[in-house]
Amino acid sequence: MNARASFRGLLLAEWTKLRSVNRWVVTLVGAVALTIGLSYLAASGNQTDMNEVPRYVTGPLDEPVVDGFVFVHQPVTGDTTLTVRVASLTPPRQGDSPDDFTRLADPSPFAQPAAGLMIKDGTRAGSSYASVMVTTTQGVRMQWDFDGDREGSAAGAGRWLRLVRSGATITGYESADGTVWQQIGTARPKSLPATAEIGFYVSSPEAVFMTRGGGSSSVGVTPTVTRATFDNIGLDGGGAWRAEPVGAAAQVGEKGEMLDGVQVTETDGGYTVAGTGKVGPEAPDDDMVGLALVGVIAGLMALIAVGVLYATSEYRRGMIRTTFAATPHRGRVLAAKTVVLGGAAFLVAAAGVLGSFLLAVPVLRRQGFTPPSFPEPSLGDGPVVRALVLSAAFMAGVAVVGLAIGMLVRHSAAAITITVVLVLLPLIVGMILPGTAPRWLMYTTLAGGLATQRAKPPTVTLAEPWAMIGPWAGIGVVAAWALLTLGLAWWQLRKRDA
């Protein structure tokens, strides 16, 4: 018999062992029930009023956005060209963080103070638009519909900008002297009517402060003001300019005081504009998919028990000697156990996370998790599929770690305790530690595998420490632990008697 046939036979033998023990089969089924049951209960007790916050609106792509700025504009019909020089751009004061709070830096190109040109479908917040701008930290950019972004030069204030409409296509240009122009890019906004509003604007995103620890997190925001001066304004067939705030552009002073009216001053055909607000995507950090998979931690406990007992039961009964007598290559035995347990655990976990998603999401929607803040997740969405598959892989990986620790310790209660502690202790400590300190716990312990549940990018604003790392980092940590513990188990199998 060749090695391949021998290993297939070993896989069949290990599968027979696993399915022949009724309590293991019952526990595997119980893992599915626990995962789904806890997810359903958690969803039933979870509520949000996020959509009652007026800052969230739906953009042209049906995603949650914020749309606030001070706009100096006028209507235009058909093709047109607007040229303006951003003569100066004064960024907002940084200010001091409140006690025990940390100011968060957002590197997104949509989260930078900016001054530039825009053509927009009216002045309704969330309507389709295209813009070119000078930012305080990321140079010149062209953006459209809260999603599209094209990088221009690294130049700052003193830059000439031009916005050209030709049919449904908007083209952005920049120039150092108003004579030689460079194209930044083109865009086709989703719903830009024949008659649109065109003009120049200033935006200044809020300063965001965060504190976390002790099992909770708090986020606060403070309005900021950016000032810009525009001159050399040229518009084909232009008329009178009108200034007004759009959307959530609250009027505040440089020290945060409220102001009356729009802060726009005209001097010799140029304009100085004080603006606040943000134009860009801004979905809440709460992850609806992650909320629907809360029960993963309960199902995981059942899979850990099966994984450990699958290893230790043969030692307790002395059957391991028979196994090694039939297959002297102990590494093959460990590999076969790993494949059988990992495969079975993955299928069980997949059933659990899929059932949780299908049952919990409708409950969450009844509890307020609805658009625009929370677009409905679908099994056709890539991030959703990734979260379900990686969550199942995380559960299977921890079950394999339990198997390896069982082979190392050879004592059921001790091995189960060790594996559970490896998951839960870093999780508890990570909930208590302040600031971003828990991030390194998530990068180095099995608790980081819980990051697989999120469909959204990492964030430090939530109480859950695993939200600080990405899903691929989380599953990578679990894979590293599985390889490490399996390697130690293989090394010990070679050194110790059965």
Residue 104: its pLDDT value, please?
Answer: 81
Contacts with 115 (C-beta within 8 Å, 6 or more apart), sequence order = 86, 89, 133, 134, 157, 200, 201, 202, 203, 226, 228, 230, 273, 275
Mean pLDDT of the chain, nearest integer? 89
Residue 310: its pLDDT value, please?
Answer: 92
- What CATH code would you report for 57-281? 2.60.120
DSSP 380: T
DSSP 111: G
In terms of Cα–Cα distance, which of 102, 272, 271, 121 is closest to 194?
Answer: 121
The pLDDT of 40-68, averaged and rounded, is 86
- Residue 4 has which token pair? 């391949």
DSSP helix/strand/coil, 344: helix
Residue 260: its pLDDT value, please?
Answer: 47
pLDDT tens digits for range 125-180: 999 999 999 999 999 999 999 999 999 999 999 999 999 999 999 999 999 999 99
- pLDDT at 321 exceeding the cut of 80: no
CB atoms within 10 A of CB 226: 26
- pLDDT at 123 exceeding the cut of 80: yes
- pLDDT at 5 exceeding the cut of 60: no
Higher pLDDT, 497 or 68: 68
DSSP helix/strand/coil, 64: strand
In terms of Cα–Cα distance, which of 316, 397, 388, 403 is closest to 352?
Answer: 388
pLDDT tens digits for range 425-440: 999 999 998 888 899 9
CB atoms within 10 A of CB 349: 29
- pLDDT at 324 exceeding the cut of 70: no
| Lowest-confidence pick of 47-51, 135-139, 152-156, 272-276 | 47-51
- pLDDT at 338 exceeding the cut of 50: yes
Higher pLDDT, 106 or 391: 391
DSSP 195: E
Higher pLDDT, 38 or 334: 38
Residue 326: its pLDDT value, please?
Answer: 60
Q: What percentage of the chain exceeds 90 in pLDDT?
A: 66
Chain-centre distance for alpha carbon 443: 16
φ, ψ of residue 361 to 5 degrees: the values are -60, -45
Q: For residues 183 and 210, what is the distance between their CA atoms, to the nearest angstrom? A: 39
In terms of Cα–Cα distance, which of 64, 29, 31 is closest to 297?
Answer: 31
pLDDT tens digits for range 69-114: 999 999 999 999 999 999 999 988 765 666 667 788 888 999 999 9
Sign for the CA dihedral angle at 477, 483, 489, 492 comes to: negative
Q: How far is CA 466 from CA 172, 368, 421, 459, in A?
A: 41, 24, 16, 9
- Residue 311 has which token pair? 């290893």
Residue 328: its pLDDT value, please?
Answer: 59
- pLDDT at 498 exceeding the cut of 60: no
Q: For residues 446 and 51, what is the distance between their CA atoms, to the nearest angstrom? A: 35
The pLDDT of 173-199, averaged and rounded, is 96
The pLDDT of 382-386, averaged and rounded, is 97
Higher pLDDT, 31 or 52: 31
pLDDT confidence tier of residue 325, bands split at 50, 70 and 90: low
pLDDT confidence tier of residue 272, bands split at 50, 70 and 90: very high
pLDDT tens digits for range 234-257: 998 878 899 988 985 555 544 444
| CATH code 2.60.120 region(s) in the chain | 57-281
Higher pLDDT, 313 or 80: 80
Sign for the CA dihedral angle at 259, 261, 262, 264 comes to: negative
Let me know how long the chain is. 498
Chain-centre distance for alpha carbon 403: 32
pLDDT tens digits for range 222-232: 888 899 999 99
